[in-house]
Amino acid sequence: MDTAWPPRPLRWPGRPLTRGPAVLDRMTFDDVPAIVAAVDAEVLRWIAMPDPYTEADAVAYLMSQGTLSARGAGLTFAVRTEAGGPLVGSAGLHFRGGPGVAEIGYWVGPAARGRGLATASTRVLAEWAFATFGPRRIELLIEPGNAGSARVALAAGAAYEGVRRAGIVHWGRPRDAAVYAFLPADVGHRPPARYGW
């Protein structure tokens, strides 16, 4: 029996993930101008991205997505407000915390903040991840000063678990991370028995 986790290559959902105001699907090169426009100082404050963030940076990032999927490292989605609409943010599912642990990260550009998009995106991505990959837990690692992301995590249904000292690395420097997490029961799922957790 094959128990490799996560399965490689990672497979995209057959249709966009939708919840409330959010539609999640694959980023394309048509999204490059919208990505650049959405990455503002607030995004750069909390996420290690080149500053200034250029079209060349966005293209390089999109070109890396096939490799990340093939390695089982993660999938990054465009956040939109309607199917086929412009990109207004991003939500990613990452596998870097060890067997059975996934991580969700997100950002929303300034024009779309305050509309519940990050919360809806986080929740639907957690639901899909548990149903598709069966992790035992999904973490959200947030710098303690990032109050907006903390509100999103709680509103999406993740539980606050405490601070992991030097839990993340930002531009080569360790930083503390507030840990929020979903367990399968938090979104109404049970882990597949084949993984043994």
For each of the domains in the chain, give its residue range(s) and CATH number, in order of start.
Answer: 17-195 (3.40.630.30)
pTM attached to this predicted model: 0.93
Among all chains, which residue has been given the structure tokens 């919208």? 34
Instruction: Give me 60's structure tokens.
Output: 């390089």
Which among 83, 96, 82, 92 has a CA at the least distance from the CA of 126? 92
Q: List the pLDDT tens digit at each of the 197 positions of the chain.
A: 356 789 899 999 999 999 999 999 999 999 999 999 999 999 999 999 999 999 999 999 999 999 999 999 999 999 999 999 999 999 999 999 889 999 999 999 999 999 999 999 999 999 999 999 999 999 999 999 999 999 999 999 999 999 999 999 988 999 999 999 999 999 987 665 555 55
Q: How many CA atoms lie within 13 A of 61 on its CB side?
A: 24
Q: What's the confidence (pLDDT) of residue 1?
A: 38
